[in-house]
């Protein structure tokens, strides 16, 4: 087939990139080779627009065993235990086919974790939809939630936490990010680096079909009106087969048969084989006629680019084939030696002994393009927002408005569709600030949470970037965990647009500053660009997934109030920042101003002090204050426990809305047994913590003295109704 | 009275069936497992099984064309995922 | 007491039930579905999960497996058999238990803690509970909507074969407390000889205070005391 | 050679379809919800929907009667839960 300009364009390659290919090959590529270049050089696989910025992120730390660059990050949680985790986007496929898109997103991230030798122990997700009134939203929400549940429930890994948000910026481009967390022993971590020449390259798992051919390039292109018409063959997930693959892989990993292992994710056989060879600085030769195929007459091009799910590539030690084959046969999975490692440093593709394609590995990997794209700084918006001009609103009305809004409604409609309990180590299920998963057979646990704040990031990206790291950090603190490391999924618009690239660069700058200060390194992540339609880009939506350690599970903390007549203390200073707040958005439809500032020094001090109080067993419950401010945090603590509160009006004369709805950062509410109050206050003072005594807990009523008094059951009903009526 | 009413209703009702099948090339995990099981149960002469959905729909109309049009709408609105499935309508 | 847990491809609560049985001092072993014989056991457990992906109908394919024939033999010989969730579905597919489990009435997977009431405490599975005791137990299923014909329903009632019913916190059998639409709020049933119990709720998830509560323990202790 | 072989194979293959439906008095939660949803979407002329399963089966045989017998066996052995479901076989 002659390579025309049209074909090059259809492969998402720019003219200069094609010239570069010709130069690297010293000839024209054939069609198969072109397909392979296009798969490896697209944004999704090559990170060509993001790399120069990503390398600024802090990736080292005393707990880090493996930072970015492998299938997933690995941290040391003491004893001989290691935690493996990563987050990944599946935005584009989920918009086209929500159930399968979300399901295969979960399947993909699980493979990233168990390829490294870890048994997955928890799933999380961050999902963003368009406006609830948009005609597509309901169907997408339904499909995505049942897809996430469908996969996780079937394979038997609990889905324990996440976030769900609605905003019109996602009307035509939803976000579906899935995170998986696994556990392994420190001496049982598997990597993707090939070693040795003449070693068997083995294909295991499902057969290859014509699924999602060019999925990776699709994820790297903007949608236009025709995308829905084009409807590329979507991948269908098969969680049952994945369960078998998981068990078979873990069984084979018990000894040292495996030299290297890599799942077939985006760009399937191509990227898995190239990555293993590239990391080992070796060549690889594949005999494509051996690839197990689902359909007749599949071409080498289709085999190399298929994104069929539930497949892996393994490089085996000499003489281990029989042993390995037996295991995969036991689990009824395909097991075929399809090639070998070579010293040629080339990817050689043969079909019935004819060479169909031959490309130097470095041309596909290290020599893939890298762009330092132009970007512009975000300008500080000048118009100062004048709070005095707003119509008066009653505290109670504003509270109810927020609690009944889609973004703040109780998420049990979603979380009840996920099996959160399977594996019987879920100490804290969805509904609190972070989920807690016990390490099997031990008295320690990890806490996990995912967070994003697209509004903040849009209005001022560098502050937004800092804020999400801090919010995520706080969520772990609030359940008594020491935050250890994060993974991140960077969902942005078109990087060829200077403003978007600016949002990207500045968000990363913010993330970096916060991570460095909090000693909270990034160990894995994923970038998803081109989220937008017809030049409309989504708000910058970096998502942070954090993991923390709970050394001893004597008393897990959550945000449910524990008893009557205990004291409530607000940690951190309240200034009443309403810019970009949920109060303005839900009550006045105003989206204005700067996001709240982050003071990293206070952030760290507040968090560490709370952690110490928890360790001393002085805290009954804790909740961080985020979107919606103090009053929302208090009402959540009340609703989850059905215990009321009686809050005094602030002593200083101030605007009540600012006080109760302000979104100042670095704050928490903690519940303290009265008998410990003196000790706690003393501790707070010696640690230089700013705090306010808020009031006490009481039966039945959510009360702000002299302002409002509501039955908690009514509050709860209002908070629950939105999803059930949608 | 009641019977008469029911008879009237019956008269103005048409029955359709819809079969929904996965598009060619789309993975059918169910069919795969069912085929394996049957082969293991000794049914070796089976070559392939694909699983789909089946609906019986009663529509209030006397006009077959109109009925078909409505069933088509039902299919495209809800029953069928056009991205991975095909469907066929039959008058019963 | 010796117990055997049958493991099918796609079972995923096998580890959980094994942990529970071992914690309760059963001498337990896992039996892989390709085995053709069962070791001598006092209790056979078919765990929850998605055997064979629950493709076709939940439990259907496992119901045809080789090992299930052995389970049927043992059950007919009087061995105690407990099917939890997918295990219940499998038992109905084999005919060891009457009736069937349809999709939840809201067509969604449901995972949450629900209340169930012990409606018969005179069996080997329930003697350590009080009659009418209300338990809080986790459910996690797509197809838990128990259905059976009138005839069999009569038999279930007459012979006292209903093991548990969904109820509210106070033990009232109401429609709101029925999570999945099961006929007469049925959450679990026995066979005529009451040596087989199938139930949708997961007692093995309720044996550890750190995780949930301990309402499931008495089911296992009843078996031990038998 | 290979082609000839494939041609032979083709000749000796028969295609059947099977529709499996819930028995009349068995509750069909799926159909009910589907009907409700469609009614809410404004399709008021729908009277009833019942959902079932559909299979396409390729059998290696030249003999229609034998084929049908085998398909029947497949149905009763696995595809159909005779307690709650009915089925129908069609030659395609
Ligand atoms: N899609 C989802 N999947 C799982 N859990 C979710 C999802 N969306 C929200 N949740 C859970 O609902 C609770 C409330 O979410 P959110 O308000 O975002 O919490 P926070 O502000 O503390 O991060 C959390 O426990 C969260 O884990
Ligand atoms: Mg929080």
Q: Which residues of A419-440 are buried (b: 16+ CB within 10 A; e: fewer)?
A: bbbbbbbbbbbbbbbbbbbbbe
Neighbours of ion ligand 2 (CB under 5 A): A 433, 475, 624
Structure tokens at B74: 């039902």
Question: Which residue owns the Cα nearest ligand 1 atom 20?
Answer: A433
Q: CB contact, 8 Å: C60 with chain A? A: no
Residues of chain A where predicted confidence (pLDDT) is lower than 70:
214-233, 383, 653
Asked if residue A277 lies in contact with residue B7, where contact means CB atoms within 8 angstroms, the answer is no
CA–centroid distance, residue A171 to ligand 2 (Å):
26
Rounded CA separation B41/B20 (Å)? 27
Structural domain boundaries enclosing D8: 2-91
So what's the pLDDT on residue A653? 63
- Residue from the list B29, B30, B37 with its beta carbon closest to the beta carbon of C64: B37
pLDDT tens-digit readout, B30-55: 999 999 999 988 888 899 999 999 99
Q: Which tokens in the block code for residue A385?
A: 């927002």
pLDDT over threshold 60, residue C226: yes
Q: CA of D53, closest CA in chain C: separation in Å?
A: 9
A408 is catalytic: no
Q: Which tokens belong to B24?
A: 């060619």
| Closest chain B residue by Cα to residue A94 | B83
Smallest CA-to-CA distance from C42 within C224, C198, C168, C209 is with: C224
Say what the pLDDT of residue A159 is.
98
Chains that touch C (3 or more CB pairs under 8 A): A, B, D
Contact at CB, B30 and C61, closer than 8 angstroms: no
Ligand closest to the CA atom of residue A406 = 1
| Chain B residues near residue A211 by CB distance under 8 angstroms | 25-27
Closest approach atom of ligand 1 to CA A145: 1
Contact (CB<8Å) B33/A308: no
**Which chain C residues touch A417 with a CB distance below 8 Å?**
108-111
Residues 6+ apart with CB under 8 A from A361: A274, A277, A278, A282, A283, A284, A345, A346, A347
Neighbours of C22 (CB within 10 A): 12
Cβ separation of B29 and C64 shorter than 8 Å?
Answer: no
Strand order of the β-sheet with A541-550 is A426-428, A435-438, A445-451, A541-550, A482-491, A522-528
Mean pLDDT, to the nearest integer, of C95-123?
Answer: 96
Shortest CA gap B4–chain D (Å): 18
C110·A417 Cβ contact <8 A: yes
Q: Report which bound ligand comes closest to the CA of A410.
A: 1
How many folded domains does chain B comprise? 1
How many domains does chain C contain in total? Answer: 1
Structure confidence at residue A259 (pLDDT): 97
The pLDDT assigned to D33 comes to 85
Work out the minimum CA distance from C103 to partner chain D, whole angstroms.
7
If one compares D35 and A672, the residue with the highest pLDDT of the two is A672
A559 annotated active-site = no
Retrieve residue A119's tokens: 């048994």
Q: Provide the pLDDT for residue B11.
A: 55
Q: Looking at residues C52-73, what average pLDDT do you find?
A: 93
Q: What is the CATH number of the domain that holds C101?
A: 3.40.50.880
Which helix H or strand E contains A482, and what residues bound it?
strand A482-491
Helix/strand number for chain A, H first, E second:
26, 28
Please provide residue A610's backbone torsions phi and psi, each rounded to the nearest 5 degrees: -60, -40
Strand ranges, E, within chain C: 2-7, 27-32, 43-46, 80-84, 100-102, 110-118, 134-141, 145-147, 162-167, 186-190, 196-199
Given strand A119-129, what is the order of strands in its sheet?
A64-66, A73-76, A81-89, A175-185, A119-129, A159-166
* Interatomic CA distance for residues C51 and C71, integer angstroms: 16
Q: Do C57 and D81 touch (CB under 8 A)?
A: yes
Tell me phi and psi for residue A491, to 5 degrees.
-95, 115
* Cα gap A14→C61, rounded to integer Å: 51
Option in B25, B82, B83 nearest A209 (CB): B25
Q: Could you read off the pLDDT of C198-224 as tens digits, one per residue?
A: 999 999 999 999 999 999 999 999 999
Q: Give the Cα separation of A432 and B15 in Å (integer).
A: 51
Per-residue pLDDT, A222:
55
- For chain B, give the longest Cα–Cα distance: 57
Rounded distance between C-alpha atoms, residue A581 and residue A591, angstroms: 8
Q: Which pair of tokens denotes residue B68?
A: 């078909």
**Does the pLDDT at position D4 exceed 50?**
no
Ligand 1 midpoint to CA A449 (Å): 8
Q: Which of A387, A450, A402, A397 is nearest to A633 (CA)?
A: A402
Per residue in D37-69, is it b (16+ CB within 10 Å) or e — as a string?
ebeeeebebbbebbbbbbbbbbbebeeeeebbe
State the Cα–Cα distance between residues C172 and C181, nearest whole angstrom.
16
> Which residue among C53, C61, C64 sits closest to B29, beta carbon to beta carbon?
C53
User: Are residues D81 and C107, on separate chains, in Cβ contact within 8 Å?
Assistant: no
What residue numbers bound the domain in which C96 lies?
2-225
Report yes or no: B54 and D52 within 8 Å, Cβ to Cβ: yes
Ligand 1-lining residues (CB < 6 angstroms): A 125, 127, 159, 161-164, 411, 414-415, 430-433, 451, 475, 626
pLDDT at B1 over 50: no
The predicted pLDDT at position A418 comes to 98
Atom number of ligand 1 nearest to Cα A627: 21
Distance (Å) from the alpha carbon of C115 to chain A's nearest alpha carbon: 15
Q: Between the ranges A671-685, B9-23, D1-15, where is the mean pLDDT highest? A: A671-685
- Say if the Cβ atoms of A421 and C138 lie within 8 Å: yes
Could you give the dihedral angle defined by the CA atoms of residues D31, D33, D36 and D41, in that order, rounded to the nearest 10 degrees?
-100
Predicted local confidence at residue C42, as pLDDT: 97
* Ligand at shortest distance from the CA of A622: 2
Between CA C13 and CA C5 the distance in angstroms is: 10
Q: Which of residues 53-72 of B touch C (CB under 8 A)?
A: none
Torsions phi, psi for A12 (to 5 deg): 70, 20
For chain C, which residues lie within 8 Å of any Cβ of chain D, measuring from their own Cβ? 56-57, 60-61, 64, 93, 99-100, 102-107, 145, 147, 149, 181
Q: What is the CATH number of the domain that holds D73?
A: 3.30.1280.10
Residue whose CA is closest, atom 9 of ligand 1?
A163
- Options A90, A408, A559, A623, the catalytic residue: A90
Give mean pLDDT, residues C74-96. 97
DSSP string, A568-607: EEEES------TT-HHHHHHH----SPPPP--HHHHHHHH
**A625: CA distance to ligand 2 center in Å?**
7
Put simply, whether B30 touches C (Cβ < 8 Å) is yes
State the closest ligand 1 atom to the C-alpha of A623, by its place in the atom list counted from 1: 22
Beta-strand relationship, A81-89 and A175-185: antiparallel
Q: Is A230 on the interface with B (CB under 8 A)?
A: no
Is D89 in the B-facing interface, judged by CB distances under 8 Å?
no
């Amino acid at each position: 087939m002659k390579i025309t300009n049209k074909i090059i364009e259809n492969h998402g390659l720019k003219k200069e990139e094609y010239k570069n290919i010709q130069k690297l090959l010293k000839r024209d590529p054939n069609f198969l080779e072109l397909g392979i270049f296009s798969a490896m050089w697209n944004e999704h696989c090559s990170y060509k627009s993001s790399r120069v910025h990503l390398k600024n992120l802090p990736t080292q730390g005393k707990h880090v065993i493996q930072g970015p660059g492998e299938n997933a990050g690995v941290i040391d949680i003491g004893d001989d235990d290691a935690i493996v985790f990563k987050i990944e986007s599946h935005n584009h496929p989920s918009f086209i086919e929500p159930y399968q898109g979300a399901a295969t997103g979960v399947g993909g991230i699980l493979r990233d974790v168990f390829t490294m030798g870890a048994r997955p122990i928890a799933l999380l997700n961050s999902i963003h939809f368009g406006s609830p009134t948009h005609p597509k939203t309901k169907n997408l929400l339904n499909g995505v939630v049942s897809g996430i549940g469908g996969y996780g429930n079937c394979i038997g890994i609990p889905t324990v936490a996440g976030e769900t948000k609605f905003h019109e910026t996602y009307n035509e481009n939803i976000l579906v990010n899935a995170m998986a967390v696994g556990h392994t022993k420190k001496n049982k971590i598997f990597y993707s680096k090939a070693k040795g020449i003449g070693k068997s390259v083995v294909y295991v798992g499902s057969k290859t079909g014509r699924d999602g051919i060019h999925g990776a390039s699709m994820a790297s292109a903007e949608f236009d009106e025709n995308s829905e018409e084009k409807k590329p063959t979507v991948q269908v997930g098969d969680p049952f087969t994945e369960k078998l693959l998981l068990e078979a892989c873990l069984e084979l990993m018990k000894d040292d048969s495996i030299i290297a292992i890599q799942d077939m994710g985006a760009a399937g056989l191509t990227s898995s084989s190239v990555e293993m060879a590239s990391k080992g600085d070796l060549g690889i030769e594949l005999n494509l006629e051996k690839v197990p195929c689902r359909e007749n007459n599949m071409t080498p091009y289709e085999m190399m680019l298929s994104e069929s799910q539930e497949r892996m590539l393994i490089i085996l030690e000499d003489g281990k084939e029989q042993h390995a084959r037996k295991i995969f046969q036991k689990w009824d999975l395909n097991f075929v030696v399809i090639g070998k490692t070579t010293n040629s440093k080339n990817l050689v593709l043969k079909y019935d002994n004819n060479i169909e394609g031959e490309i130097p590995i470095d041309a596909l990997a290290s020599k893939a393009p890298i762009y330092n794209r132009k970007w512009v700084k975000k300008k500080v918006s000048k118009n100062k927002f004048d709070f005095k001009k707003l119509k008066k609103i009653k505290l109670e009305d504003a509270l109810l408005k927020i609690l009944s809004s889609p973004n703040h409604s109780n998420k049990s409609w979603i979380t009840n569709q996920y099996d959160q309990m399977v594996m019987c180590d879920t100490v804290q299920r969805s509904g609190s600030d972070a989920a807690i998963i016990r390490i099997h057979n031990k008295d320690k646990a990890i806490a996990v949470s995912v967070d994003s704040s697209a509004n903040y990031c849009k209005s001022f990206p560098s502050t937004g970037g800092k804020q999400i790291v801090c919010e995520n950090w706080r969520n772990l603190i609030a359940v008594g965990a020491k935050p250890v490391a994060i993974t991140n999924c960077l969902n942005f618009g078109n990087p060829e647009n200077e403003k978007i690239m600016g949002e990207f660069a500045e968000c990363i700058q913010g993330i970096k500053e916060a991570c460095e200060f909090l000693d909270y390194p990034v160990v894995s992540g994923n970038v998803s660009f081109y989220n937008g339609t017809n030049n409309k880009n989504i708000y910058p939506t970096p998502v942070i997934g954090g993991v923390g350690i709970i050394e001893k599970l004597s008393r897990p903390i959550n945000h449910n109030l524990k008893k009557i007549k205990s004291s409530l203390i607000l940690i951190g200073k309240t200034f009443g920042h309403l810019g970009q707040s949920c109060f303005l958005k839900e009550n006045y439809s105003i989206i204005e101003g700067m996001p709240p500032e982050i003071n990293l020094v206070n952030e760290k001090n507040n968090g560490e002090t709370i952690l110490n109080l928890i360790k001393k067993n002085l805290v009954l419950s804790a909740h961080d204050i985020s979107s919606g401010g103090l009053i929302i945090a208090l009402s959540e603590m009340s609703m989850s426990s059905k215990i009321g509160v009686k809050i005094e009006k602030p002593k200083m004369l101030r605007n009540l809305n600012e006080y109760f709805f302000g979104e100042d950062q670095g704050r928490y509410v903690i519940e303290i047994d009265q008998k410990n109050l003196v000790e706690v206050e003393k501790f707070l003072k010696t640690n230089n913590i700013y705090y306010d005594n808020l009031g006490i807990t009481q039966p039945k009523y959510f009360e702000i003295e002299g302002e409002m008094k509501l039955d908690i059951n009514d509050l709860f009903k209002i908070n629950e109704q939105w999803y059930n009526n949608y | 009275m009641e019977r008469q009413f029911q008879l009237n209703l019956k008269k103005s009702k048409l029955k359709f069936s819809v079969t929904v099948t996965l598009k060619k090339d789309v993975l059918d995990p169910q069919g795969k497992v069912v085929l394996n099981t049957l082969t293991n149960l000794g049914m070796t002469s089976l070559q392939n099984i694909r699983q789909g959905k089946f609906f019986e729909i009663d529509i209030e109309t006397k006009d077959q064309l109109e009925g078909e049009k409505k069933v088509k709408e039902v299919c495209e609105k809800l029953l069928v995922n056009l991205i991975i499935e095909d469907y066929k309508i039959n008058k019963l | 007491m010796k117990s055997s847990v049958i493991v099918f491809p796609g079972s995923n609560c096998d580890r959980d039930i094994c942990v529970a049985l071992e914690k309760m001092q059963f001498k337990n072993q896992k039996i892989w579905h390709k085995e053709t014989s069962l070791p001598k056991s006092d209790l056979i457990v078919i765990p929850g999960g998605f055997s064979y992906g629950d493709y076709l109908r939940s439990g259907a394919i496992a119901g045809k497996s080789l090992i299930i024939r052995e389970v049927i033999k043992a059950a007919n010989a009087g061995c105690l058999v407990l099917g939890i969730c997918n295990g219940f579905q499998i038992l109905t597919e084999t005919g060891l238990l009457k009736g069937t489990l349809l999709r939840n009435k809201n067509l969604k997977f449901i995972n949450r803690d629900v209340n169930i009431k012990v409606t018969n405490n005179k069996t080997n599975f329930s003697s350590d509970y009080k009659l009418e005791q209300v338990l809080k137990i986790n459910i996690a299923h797509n197809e838990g909507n128990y259905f059976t014909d009138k005839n069999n329903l009569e038999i279930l009632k007459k012979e006292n074969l209903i093991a548990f019913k969904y109820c509210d916190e106070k033990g009232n059998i109401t429609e709101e407390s029925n999570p999945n639409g099961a006929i007469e709020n049925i959450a679990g049933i026995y066979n005529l000889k009451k040596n087989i119990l199938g139930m949708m709720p997961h007692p093995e998830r309720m044996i550890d205070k750190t995780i949930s509560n301990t309402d499931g323990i008495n089911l296992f202790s009843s078996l031990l005391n038998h």
